[in-house]
Amino acid sequence: MMRDCKNIWKKCLDLIREQVPPRTFKTWFEPVCPIKLEGDILTIQVGSSYVYEYIEEHFVEILRDALKATIGKNAKLQYSVVMANNPNVKTTATISSAAVEKPTSAIVALDKRNAGLKNPFHSVNHTVEIDSQLNTAYTMDNFIEGSCNRLAKSAGMTIAKNSGKTSFNPFLIYGGSGLGKTHLAQAIGLEVKRNTPSKAVLYVSVNLFQTQFTEAVRRNEINDFLHFYQLIDVLILDDIHELAGKTATQNTFFHIFNHLQQSGKQLILTCDKPPVELTGIEDRLLSRFKWGLSAEIKSPEFETKKEIVISKARRDGIDFPEDVVNYLCKNVQNNVRELEGTMISLLAQSTFNKKDITLELAKDILGKTVKNRSKELTVDKIQNVVCEYFHISPAELQTKTRKREIVQARYLAMYFCKNYTKASLTFIGNQIGKKDHTTVLYACKVVSDLVDTDRKFKAHFEELQKMLYINV
């Protein structure tokens, strides 16, 4: 029994060592002695009530995860407090591995089901279904398969049937913008919900995750934030490259990642490049990104693009002549998003001008958009077009005024620069109002939210897209 408890505690220490600084580990965990293991209850000895209280206040989550990983989901930890100057004085406290609060009495057994967990999206408890935030339009059926994405889709289908129990955990999908990473990631989530409705699936972008984390810190609700994410069975985190440089957020996600992975939950990540090329992200996170499967989605070849165009045309009830389809697939080179956007522009021109969809019309549309976009679309170009649209001068865009129209114009300019140029966030912020990169990220979030909730703002957004020859 003694040998077993030592082996269990050693395994726990190996997990804990990865998650705390060396000096912290040496101070608080090395002096701890395992005493006994009875069933699922591990008893350890500490030297004072202060040590017991400090460990429980600062490391309860790490301890709980380590216990569950080594003993099982019903594991409990019991402390034996033995004063060094008076070994006859002992205090015991039993802490469930599911504990989520600091103990309030000598002997405590806490259950997270009664802990009043909070959902960053809205208040929930453990018995309320969590809103998955999935877009129901992103299904597996309308995700067109080709050699460019076959591995990713096949792995996604395997995960959907048995999430968290395959070797594809985490599952990292990487590739350029507009190639279908978000579509596939959400399609997996929808398939999981269809196969197992009881599972908690959540899609969230890194920008939103960062905002929630910052708000949780500000409100002193970080434990609620962590506990909510640890309830998730399938977590889909979009654009993990946006974690670069955000040390505190990375540290928090590290703990969430470990908990979910060790608990047999599924993580699905998307990124614009493979893990080996990511910068600004801690090595311990990068190493975990490589644990499962990384699958690339490449630019579609001609035949796949043709299937995409035909599929979308059928869904929208549009009749595209074959010569137009071939022309679009041959000349739209960048990504699927641009291909679909070009189709929308072609349909709009045909409808508004009461013209048939012809090869000549397709050539005219592409001549104004795809072919010239790479030469024309710069930070300066975007600023000038936005200023022209809002009837303000470029100098006004650079001022610190909080006038609503100018603030919206500035945010829109930042959004388009981030998403449709290769300029860095720092460069964009410096060029537009002398702001830092965090302001650019915040602006992008505001624009995304307003497009979803404000019709007038959405109209401005779409008009600017046309002026910039951007179709998304």
Q: Smallest Cα–Cα separation from 118: which of 195, 189, 221, 33?
A: 221
The answer to whether residues 318 and 170 touch, using CB atoms and an 8 Å cutoff, is: no
Q: Which residue in the block uniquely carries the two structure tokens 């505190």?
A: 248
Least confident among 70-74, 83-87, 275-279, 321-325: 83-87
The predicted structure's pLDDT at residue 367: 66
Q: Smallest Cα–Cα separation from 421: which of 400, 444, 405?
A: 444
Domain 302-373 in CATH 3.40.50.620? The answer is: no
The answer to whether residues 43 and 51 touch, using CB atoms and an 8 Å cutoff, is: no
What is d(CA 321, CA 359) in angstroms, rounded to the nearest whole number? 8
Q: Smallest Cα–Cα separation from 273: which of 168, 181, 153?
A: 181
- For the stretch 198-222, pLDDT in tens is 889 999 998 889 888 888 888 888 8
The answer to whether residues 294 and 275 touch, using CB atoms and an 8 Å cutoff, is: yes
Indicate the CATH number for domain 377-467: 1.10.1750.10
Indicate the CATH number for domain 150-296: 3.40.50.300
- For the stretch 118-171, pLDDT in tens is 344 443 444 346 788 898 888 888 888 888 888 999 999 999 988 888 888 899
Locate CATH 1.10.8.60 in the chain: 302-373
Asked if residue 170 has a cis previous peptide bond (ω within 30° of 0), the answer is yes
Least confident among 13-17, 125-129, 384-388: 125-129
- For the stretch 332-347, pLDDT in tens is 766 777 777 777 777 7
- What does the DSSP assignment read for 308-353? HHHHHHHHTT----HHHHHHHHHH--S-HHHHHHHHHHHHHHHHHT
Q: In CATH, which superfamily holds the domain spanning 2-112?
A: DnaA, N-terminal domain (3.30.300.180)
The predicted structure's pLDDT at residue 352: 65
pTM for this entry: 0.50
| Token code pair at residue 392 | 């303000």
What's the gap between Cα 115 and its chain centre? 25
Q: Is the pLDDT of residue 357 over 80?
A: no
Locate CATH 3.30.300.180 in the chain: 2-112
Burial of 198 (0-12, 13-18, 19+ CB in 10 A): exposed
Q: How confident is the model at residue 93 (pLDDT cuts 50, 70, 90)?
A: very low
Locate CATH 1.10.1750.10 in the chain: 377-467
User: What percentage of the chain reaches a pLDDT higher than 70?
Assistant: 82
Q: Smallest Cα–Cα separation from 57: which of 94, 92, 101?
A: 101
The answer to whether residues 305 and 329 touch, using CB atoms and an 8 Å cutoff, is: yes
The answer to whether residues 429 and 437 touch, using CB atoms and an 8 Å cutoff, is: yes
